[in-house]
Amino acid sequence: MLASHWDRGPWKKPRTTLASASVTRGYHSTALLLPDGRVLHAGSGEGAGAPDQKNAQIFTPPYLLRGPRPEVTSAPDEVTYGATFRLDTPQADGIVKVSFIRLGATTHAFDENQRFQWLTFSRDATGLTVTAPSSSNRAPPGHYMVFILNADDVPSVARIVRLH
């Protein structure tokens, strides 16, 4: 088997096998990142003999269990392209990343609307000054989840912000 470019380089991390879903979810299934960092896994059926699963499971990724979660105590409801905006947090000095993830919109197991970006920021004693994406080419207008992450890659609960 040939190694893909993802199997080499400085970004390579050890692989960890996690628990399997309790039922097979194939055709017409969805997995959706929730604002609290967990993943909703639902559906299946209506094709290729797949069992019709009219239920869901919620998966808690191990990174949510690595320690205390940072907290965003205030965030704007809306931001404009290229603008700076404020995220207040009592853990400002320990924040190492800020991410922007578009709300999911899945159909037939695909989410062609998903977007992810790391945002640049500076910190002070009570929070972060974050720069919004500068272009709609990589971040179309709409609603995004803003997460702050600490040095252990533990995310906050997301704040939902509309980008326009």
Residue in 27, 63, 81, 144 annotated catalytic: 27
Q: Is 27 a catalytic residue?
A: yes
Closest Cα to residue 161, out of 148, 149, 111?
148
* Residue 97, C-beta contacts closer than 8 angstroms, at least 6 positions apart: 118, 148, 149, 153
Residue 119 phi, psi (nearest 5): -110, 145
**Beta-bridge mates of residue 39:** 33, 59
Catalytic residue positions?
A: 27
